[in-house]
Amino acid sequence: MPQTPAPTARDATSAARRTHPSRRMVPRLAVCMLLIFTSFLALTGCSNLGEFDQDAIVQQAESYYESKYGANVEVADVWEDRSYQLFGYRSSGRAFCTMEDGSTVLVDFEEGVLGDNRQPHEIVAAYEERLREAIGDATQQLESAGYTVSLVFINNLSPEADGFLEGRISTYTWQKNDDSSEESGSFFYARYSGSDRFFEQEAPRVSLGVPSIDIEISGRDAAFEHGFPMNVPARPSWVDPIDDACATLLPLTDNEPEVKVTVFQEGYRNLALMEDEPLGMLGELSPFDNMEPTGNWLIVDWIPLGKGVYITSDEPGVRLREGDVTLTEVEGAFSLEELVKSGRLNERESRTYHPEAFATYQLEVRSDLFASAPVDVQDKGWFDVDIAYDNTDPTAGLAQLGVVAEELVPSLYTVRINPAAEDPEDSSDDAAASDDEPPLDVGIMRTDTLENGFQHTSTTLDEDEPLLLARV
């Protein structure tokens, strides 16, 4: 494969003369440019780029193809899989072998043959049928449990349609040379003949590309005003049918969860996608957090904390219930002047401030909550949450203060002490730099509210550090 020719010293010198009038700088500039250019080429890839054993690669491809299809087909062309950059390329350590019948065999320099693309359409269709059957069974189970299933999509397409896995399953991309466009295709190792034996053989190698399944339901445990679920049972009755469907797909990927499922209450999926928010979301099955055989569920259950504040987990595998998090009013954590000094209060120019409404709260996690959390949450010591706030709630106390709630939008702020501004043992230079740092790191509630009109924000709860909130 031809590479981009390296510029000569003469070229570099000419370029230097054009950009720098001083002739005394020319030799030094030329040397520097050549050194930089040489270093860049050295960094763009391994030292043995292009130095693979082509004969061995061809032999592997032809032997694999004959063993799989019983046909003696020779390799017509072979090229290294490279990604092209400004002054060179980087090898992926793979080669594509074009067979005489037009198919392509993909060979890894270390792992050997990865597969071929002779049967992609019928294999993709077979996997789609398996997904279609599983989702069909889940839909029937949901309806038997008393739910109305109003919508089911796989990768934004109806399960009844063909092609929802097209271009997503066991895909590889390649580029023959720096002038050609990028191509992609699906490669499979086992031969498909319509039997279940194929799925067993291909399971350790296949990637389904994490199919994303969206379901809308209405009925018990799924009907909440304005898409704001409250008092969701510990295990909603819609979870088991969907778990069963995902379990039937596990053997297809060697028992590794690869299916993401999002359950919405009826009428909210499109709205959630348009707003890029979890509006009306009842739960989500994450294949990446596979503490459970089918992945980890995130159940959206908004827990009232009082003062108009609600909280829900946004961490798969972490389920918040009443009593897991407490909200208490505190004094002396910081002053209104410190809050103003942070600068964030000035981001809403039309916002009217009421010092009499100033109050500080503390969110604290139950002491043993992290002990029952997934291992990755225990290791990092925090998890994601969403907080919602209804400043018209009587328990918020604004009416008693004579403050019009609509004038306080946003009303509630998350507050963390800024460590860059509080270390008194800094050196003089560091201390001078910290003078410019605001004492508090303040997060603003979103004014584009949830469907029920509540303000909301996303943040984290730490195991060892309570979260501070400010109302002003």
Sign of CA dihedral 217, 308, 335, 364: negative
In this prediction, residues 328-349 reach a mean pLDDT of: 79
Rounded to the nearest integer, the mean pLDDT of the chain is 84
R_g over Cα of the chain: 30
Sign of CA dihedral 230, 233, 237, 238: positive
Residue with tokens 């339901």: 217
Predicted local distance difference test score (pLDDT) of residue 339? 84
Cβ neighbours around 36 below 10 Å, total: 11
Percentage of the residues of the chain whose pLDDT score is greater than 70: 82
In this prediction, residues 80-91 reach a mean pLDDT of: 74
Spatial separation of the C-alpha atoms in residues 285 and 300, rounded to whole Å:
11
Spatial separation of the C-alpha atoms in residues 384 and 181, rounded to whole Å:
41
Per-residue tokens: 94:
């793979």
Please tell me whether the peptide bond between 410 and the residue prior to it is cis, using omega within 30 degrees of 0: yes
Whether pLDDT at 43 is above 50 = no
CA proximity to 268, closest of 235, 304, 229, 296 = 229
More confident residue, 445 or 207: 207
Helix segments in 291-358, DSSP class H: 336-341
Cα–Cα distances (Å) from 239 to 218, 245, 293, 319, in that order, read 13, 10, 13, 14
CA proximity to 199, closest of 126, 266, 150 = 126
Any idea what the Cα angle at residue 261 is, between residues 255 and 265, rounded to 5°? 155
Residue 389's beta-bridge partner residues? 309, 455
pLDDT band at 275 (very low <50, low <70, confident <90, very high): confident
pLDDT tens-digit map of 393-443: 999 999 999 988 888 888 899 998 777 765 555 545 544 444 566 778 888
Residue pair 364/326 in contact (Cβ under 8 Å)? The answer is: yes
In this prediction, residues 120-129 reach a mean pLDDT of: 97
Whether pLDDT at 164 is above 70 = yes
Per-residue tokens: 379:
């290791």
CA proximity to 312, closest of 216, 416, 444, 450 = 450
In this prediction, residues 359-379 reach a mean pLDDT of: 92
Predicted local distance difference test score (pLDDT) of residue 194? 92
More confident residue, 50 or 130: 130
Spatial separation of the C-alpha atoms in residues 79 and 98, rounded to whole Å:
9
Spatial separation of the C-alpha atoms in residues 413 and 441, rounded to whole Å:
10
Query: pTM of the prediction?
Result: 0.80
Predicted local distance difference test score (pLDDT) of residue 181? 82
Per-residue tokens: 406:
């609509």
Cα–Cα distances (Å) from 33 to 47, 391, 408, 445, in that order, read 21, 63, 59, 51
What is the secondary structure of 368-418 as a DSSP string? TTGGGS-HHHHHHTEEEEEEEE-TTSGGG-TGGGT--GGG-SS-EEEEEE-
In this prediction, residues 343-360 reach a mean pLDDT of: 76
Per-residue tokens: 8:
């000569």
* Residue/partner pairs of 394-399 with CB below 8 Å, 24 or more apart: 395/306, 395/307, 395/308, 396/307, 396/308, 396/471, 397/307, 397/359, 398/357
Per-residue tokens: 401:
């203060």
Contacts (Cβ under 8 Å, ≥6 apart) of 461: 325, 363, 365, 382, 383, 385, 467
Residue pair 239/283 in contact (Cβ under 8 Å)? The answer is: yes
